[in-house]
Amino acid sequence: MKTSHLLSGIAFAAMFAAVPVSAAELRFACYQDGVECDAWSEAFKTFESENPGTTVAVDVVPYKSIVEGLPLQLASGEGPDLARVTDLGGLAQYMLDVTPYVSDAAKIEEQYGKTLAWTRVNGPDDKGIYAIMDQQTATGPFVNKTLFDQAGVEMPGKGATYEDWAKAAKEVAEKTQTPYPMAMDRSGHRYMGPAISYGAKVFDDQGNPITVDDGFRGWSEQFVEWNNDGTVAKEVWAGAGGSSYQDAAKEFTNGSLVMYVSGSWQIGRFGRDIGDAFDWVAVPAPCGPGGCTGIPGGAAIAAFKHTKSPEELGKLIEFISREDVQAEVLAKTKNIPANQSLQVKGIDYENASEDEKAALTTFASALSEFSPVAFQFQGYKNNRAIMNAIATRVTQAIVGESTLDEALERVDTDVKEAVAAAK
């Protein structure tokens, strides 16, 4: 009898032991400007509870790793399952179309179609879902309002040109003894907003880059001049080499900069770092002959082809696209939503100051008026090559290593070579 019971027990245990339990771990490489990775880590706990057996490991990495290291990993068939990236067009070749793995592709298309276009590099019939924006950004200026008030200078209004702003900022800087009237991040991405406003067409009718034209030249002449006459803080562009990115956020937050051309991703940082030290505002993109535009952009969470868990990855991408999830994350990160519904409804940002709320509203509004050329540029798969060439060559003109004509000729050559190499 005892032997019989023992055998029965063994059989019962084996019955459950033989039942397979699926498990998947998705690795997410994430960079953050503020608290984005922290917010997503928190949100993924909900995903994990909804999907037992699937876990998401968030690896917080420097932005530089995303820009330089990630493409190498992906090109060799390695890397994370998904990553928070900005070079959507450039990395699109490595992305996984999760359409077969989501339950409602039409809804995702409805809510994110405009930005999904930035990853659809396989021709006009490409309707894939490769990445979901977790923020949309807009480039444009921030202004130290307190300095304007102290100087008794009226801020230029909507429709003001870059020259109008430069004149006003210089006056404020002189009257308040502020070191820097203006500054712009050392970035080809920042540069292209005013370039397009000055009339740069960027692309020909066939969609090929024609970076250097009269509009581009006009802005370049102005920018180089301003760097050398002290209107623009020279050390931001001239104080670095190669295509290195350099910002001027510190100069703005410590009150030594009147007007700072950067982007909406800085809002959360400024809210934290400036606090009540001074009043600051975002202003609409200044104007030129070509319009009044910055460059749209943002970060997206992209799925990659080499994943061993495409089904789980598809579920995660769909989770990331949900309106309620986006709202929760954006409330913490204080960014502009890419989700169409949330753009209409707005976000109830957590602990946002009045300056932060106003800046977010300004950038969101400005974004809707950006030039179609700016959107085209953002989605162009080789846009980073253009941006690299701009940072390198325009700096050479600023510091006198080459004339502006030589620099612009090199921009053109560099871009053509890059396009050829990338084919």
Partner 1 sequence: MLALQKMTGAQRIAWVFLFPNLLIFGLFTFLPIFLNFFYATTGSDRILLPDRPYVGLENFQSLLACESYLDPNSCARDIFWRAVHNTGWFVILQVGFMILFSLVTAMVLNRDIPLRGFFRSVFFYPVLLSPVVVALIWKWILQRYGVLNAGLEAWELPVTNWLVEADWAFFWIVFVSIWAHMGFYTLILLAGLQAIPSDVYEAAEMDGASKWRVFSKITMPLLMPTMVVVIVLSLIRAVQAFDEIFVLTGGGPGSATTLLLQYIYETGFAYRPQLFGLAAAASLLMAAVLLVLTLLQLAATRRQAEG
41 vs 228 by CB, closer to partner 1: 228
| Cβ-contact 271, 334 below 8 angstroms | yes
Task: Among 239, 275, 346, 372, indicate the residue that binds partner 1 (CB under 8 A).
Answer: 239
How many angstroms separate the CA atoms of 112 and 305, rounded? 21
Strand partners, 28: 58, 82
* Residue number with CB closer to partner 1 (339 or 396): 396
CA dihedral sign of residues 95, 370, 256, 216: positive
Q: How far apart, in Å, are the Cα atoms of 409 and each of 38, 139, 163?
A: 44, 26, 26
Contact 331, 350 (CB under 8 A): yes
Tokens of 68: 């330089």
Among 14-22, 153-161, 240-248, 274-282, which window interacts with partner 1 (CB under 8 A)?
240-248
Among 123, 157, 207, 242, binds partner 1 (CB under 8 A): 242
Residue 395 found at the interface with partner 1 (CB under 8 A):
yes
Show contacts with partner 1 in window 159-218 (CB under 8 A).
179
- Rule CB under 8 A: choose which of 116, 132, 385, 411 binds partner 1: 385
Our finding on whether 14 is near partner 1 (CB under 8 A) is no
Spatial separation of the C-alpha atoms in residues 114 and 119, rounded to whole Å? 10
Is 234 a binder of partner 1 (CB under 8 A)? yes
- Which one, 315 or 384, has the nearer CB to partner 1? 384
Coil, helix or strand for 83?
strand
Q: Give the one residue of 37, 70, 238, 336 binding partner 1; rule: CB under 8 A.
A: 238
Q: Which is nearer to partner 1, 185 or 318 (by Cβ)? A: 185
Rank residues 273 and 369 by Cβ distance to partner 1 and give the closer one: 273
**Minimum Å distance from CB 399 to partner 1?**
4
> Judged by CB under 8 A, does residue 62 bind partner 1?
no
Residue choice 84, 190, 334, 384 for contact with partner 1 (CB under 8 A): 384
Q: Which residue in 140, 105, 103, 137 sits closest to 118, CA to CA?
A: 137
Integer Cα distance of 383 and 189 in angstroms: 9
Residue among 37 and 387 whose Cβ is closer to partner 1: 387
Stretch of residues binding partner 1 (CB under 8 A), selected from 11-19, 118-126, 195-203, 385-393: 385-393
Of 67 and 331, the one with the shorter C-beta distance to partner 1 is 67
Contacts of residues 110-117 at CB distance under 8 Å and 24 or more positions apart, as own/partner, are 110/340, 111/321, 111/323, 111/339, 111/340, 111/341, 112/321, 112/338, 112/339, 112/340, 114/338, 114/340, 114/375, 115/298, 115/300, 115/338, 117/379
* Amino acid in the structure at residue 53: G
Selected binder of partner 1 within 240, 281, 331, 358 (CB under 8 A): 240
Instruction: Choose between 47 and 180: whose C-beta lies nearer to partner 1.
Output: 180
Residues from 80 through 119 that contact partner 1 (CB under 8 A)? 87, 90
Does position 249 bind partner 1 by CB under 8 A?
Answer: no
Token reading at 61: 């990495």
Q: How far apart are the first and last CA of the chain?
A: 77
Taking a C-beta distance cutoff of 8 angstroms, is the pair 85, 28 a contact? Answer: no
**Site residues, partner 1 (CB under 8 A):** 68, 71-72, 75-76, 87, 90, 179, 234-235, 238-244, 246, 256, 382, 384-385, 387-388, 392, 395-396, 398-402, 406, 410, 418, 421-422
